[in-house]
Amino acid sequence: MRIVILPDPAAVAAFGAQQLIGQLQQKPSSVLGLATGSSPVQLYKRLVQAVQAGQVSMAEVTTFNLDEYLGLATTHSQSYRHFMNTHLFDQVDIRLAATHVLDGLSSDPQKACSAYEALIRDQGGVDLQLLGIGRNGHIGFNEPSSSLVSRTRVKTLTEDTVAANRRFFQPDEFQPHLALTMGIGTIMDAKQILLIATGQDKAEALRHTIEGPVSAHCPASILQMHAKATLVIDKAAAQGLQESAFYQYIEQERQRLVTPSEQA
Ligand code: F6R
């Protein structure tokens, strides 16, 4: 795992956006795995700016989102399809038909999940998967105790996740307790993974993810087993790490290797 610790959320968003932009410049027809929630909002804003400035194009990109609430229509203001259209897709040159979000109103959710897996495979797999992390260590909606080799399926959300996401819903609005989500095995199949996290709320989950044992109790800890996973976090989220000085030292050394001429 590459662990990048940055001063604040703005730096995390800038670094994360640059990773995505770099990926798209290198492979314009990239298949991206995308996340929702508050973590990627600023990153998407920067990506939109880059596309609108002509720095990069998303015209050939295909996307697959991690998850969707079961029971919400795509038009619902809290559906993840709506989130993606608002924060990214409607503002860039991507073909909407090439953007995939699980259907929260599917009459046969399990069939929809299997079809999603097949579609990802047909597109050659995900090149770069963007992730946030829940304060209980979930990735996608793979809550603690999820099988570490799971595939896309229906999951029950924990009370903690429902509580954490209540802020997005109106007080009297229906909030789903079930979701469709890529599995942990599905996520791990991505060629590269980029997880972003900020704030003290995520510190405990990141401690387990980075320095704890690999365990279904903290689903994100499986990223220790991925050959190309980068975790970009701010200082507040890094608070619980015992070895944060070492991770920062590794990054300094990495910079020296990447840009040796600057050291002359
Ligand atoms: C969202 C997702 C979730 C979130 C996580 C963190 O598509 O899959 O795993 O990334 O719940 O959410 P925020 O960023 O709102 O703290």
Tell me: the pLDDT tens digits for 103-162? Answer: 999 999 999 999 999 999 999 999 999 999 999 999 999 999 999 999 999 999 999 999
pLDDT of residue 262: 54
Overall average pLDDT of the 188-192 stretch = 98
Task: Specify whether 93 is catalytic.
Answer: no
User: CA 102 to CA 143: how far, in whole Å?
Assistant: 18
pLDDT over threshold 60, residue 264: no
User: CA 30 to CA 217: how far, in whole Å?
Assistant: 32
Task: Specify whether 87 is catalytic.
Answer: no
pLDDT in tens, 37-74: 999 999 999 999 999 999 999 999 999 999 999 999 99
Task: Specify whether 85 is catalytic.
Answer: no
The model's confidence at residue 258, banded by pLDDT at 50, 70 and 90, is: confident
- Site residues for ligand 1, CB cut-off 6 Å: 35-39, 66-67, 132-134, 138-141
Say if pTM beats, i.e. exceeds, 0.85.
yes
**Residues above pLDDT 70, as percent of the chain:** 98
Site to probe by mutation for ligand 1, drawn from 80, 130, 141, 159 as the one with most ligand atoms within 8 Å of Cβ, is 141
pLDDT in tens, 205-240: 999 999 999 999 999 999 999 999 999 999 999 999
